[in-house]
């Protein structure tokens, strides 16, 4: 975790963040998000409890003096006040507020059940904001080809390899930046996912070729020799730099301004595998590294080509108005022969 973020961090919060990173296996980026959310929460609590000047700018409030004595005074009502502030004053949407709820719950659970500093957990009855279930945004096949052909693999082998892995393997941003050279074994790659869970992903021809080209031109003797993707300073490429690369490639392909991002390329890989490869959802779950099948099943709702095929397979799909009118005199409508079922009692 970036030590600069911890300058204003009280000991009780620091201990929690270390626990989440070292014991629970949360990524550095996730832990930093926890800190930012909890820092804002405690700033608001200090303002709410009158511990700072009433006209104090909330972003300037220090939380270094936050201790268990103050935390014990926090009530469920205080937490709902904070969530209302997040909505009314900071325009946080339901997903952002739900994330804050999850973070606050986790912190108080840690204090209650892990280090026993609290006897009662004020978040026990805390409800999470209702969030809208939206379908994942992804590039269609034509846009995916457009993206790949907008890059010259000979001039930018690293960037081409990054895009190819994203769009074929469906890995997360943190998973891609964390790849080491030793993780690649012939036609497989070892991925370290959420919660330090490892999985093996098989590489198709496109990925193997892109990797071979990049590795052959990878900078010699970098400062971090084990890292697969290296930045200009010789160190492991950062998540922010990868995001910039993806944004640049999308712009070159004429696909900017459509809400696409590095994470949307993961959605793209999953959707194209399901749509065109007819991949079983359980296999797709393993490829993506999802803990729950329910998370993967969202991709079964975006396969429009399969939905269209299912609709076209209906025995009534060929019964048009012309045929109905033509047979009205006969008081019957012709049915396809394979649609006739003699098992009338079968449900």
**Residue closest to 281 by CA, chosen among 300, 265, 266, 305:** 300
Sign for the CA dihedral angle at 309, 311, 317, 322 comes to negative
222, two tokens: 């970098």
* Sole residue written with tokens 């992903």: 201
* Sole residue written with tokens 């270094």: 64
- Long-range CB pairs of 96-105, under 8 A, 24+ apart, other chains included: 97/129, 98/128, 98/129, 98/131, 99/33, 99/37, 100/37, 100/41, 101/126, 101/127, 101/128, 101/129, 102/128, 103/33, 103/34, 103/37, 103/38, 103/41, 104/37, 104/38, 104/41, 104/79
Residues 189, 200: contact at Cβ < 8 Å?
Answer: yes
- Give, as one character, the DSSP assignment of residue 129: P
- Give, as one character, the DSSP assignment of residue 151: S
| Dihedrals phi, psi of 236, to nearest 5 degrees | -55, 135
Bridge partners of 201, per DSSP, are: 189
* 170-173-174-178 Cα dihedral, nearest 10 degrees: 80
Sign for the CA dihedral angle at 25, 132, 299, 292 comes to positive
As a whole number of angstroms, the distance between CA 14 and CA 6 comes to 8
Burial of 31 (0-12, 13-18, 19+ CB in 10 A): buried
Residues tagged active-site: 172, 194, 263, 266, 290, 299
């Amino acid at each position: 975790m970036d030590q600069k973020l911890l300058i204003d961090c009280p000991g009780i919060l620091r201990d929690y963040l270390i626990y989440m990173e070292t014991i629970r296996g949360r990524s550095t980026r996730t832990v930093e998000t926890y800190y930012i959310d909890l820092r804002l929460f405690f700033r608001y609590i200090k303002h709410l409890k009158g511990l700072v000047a009433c006209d104090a700018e909330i972003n300037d409030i220090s939380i270094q003096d936050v201790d268990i004595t103050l935390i014990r005074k926090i009530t469920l009502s205080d937490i709902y006040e904070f969530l209302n502030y997040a909505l009314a004053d900071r325009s946080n949407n339901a997903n952002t507020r739900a994330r804050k709820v999850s973070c606050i719950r986790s912190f108080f659970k840690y204090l209650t059940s892990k280090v026993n500093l609290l006897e009662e957990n004020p978040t026990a009855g805390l409800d999470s904001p209702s969030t809208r279930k939206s379908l994942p945004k992804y590039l269609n096949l034509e846009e995916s080809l457009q993206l790949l052909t907008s890059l010259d693999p000979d001039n930018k082998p690293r960037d081409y390899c990054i895009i190819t892995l994203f769009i074929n393997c469906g890995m997360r941003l943190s998973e891609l930046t964390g790849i080491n050279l030793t993780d690649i074994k012939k036609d497989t790659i070892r991925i370290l996912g959420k919660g330090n869970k490892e999985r093996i992903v098989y590489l198709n021809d496109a990925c193997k070729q892109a990797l071979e080209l990049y590795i052959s031109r990878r900078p010699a003797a970098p400062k971090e020799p084990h890292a697969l993707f290296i930045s200009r300073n010789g160190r492991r490429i950062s998540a922010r730099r990868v995001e910039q690369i993806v944004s640049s490639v999308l712009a070159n392909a004429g696909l900017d301004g459509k809400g696409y991002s590095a994470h949307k390329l993961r959605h793209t890989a999953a959707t194209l595998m399901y749509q065109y490869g007819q991949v079983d959802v359980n296999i797709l779950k393993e490829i993506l590294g999802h803990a729950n099948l329910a998370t993967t099943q969202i991709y079964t709702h975006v396969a429009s080509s399969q939905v269209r095929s299912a609709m076209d397979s209906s025995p009534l799909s060929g019964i048009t108005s012309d045929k109905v009118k033509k047979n009205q005199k006969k008081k019957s409508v012709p049915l396809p022969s394979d649609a006739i079922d003699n098992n009338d009692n079968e449900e």
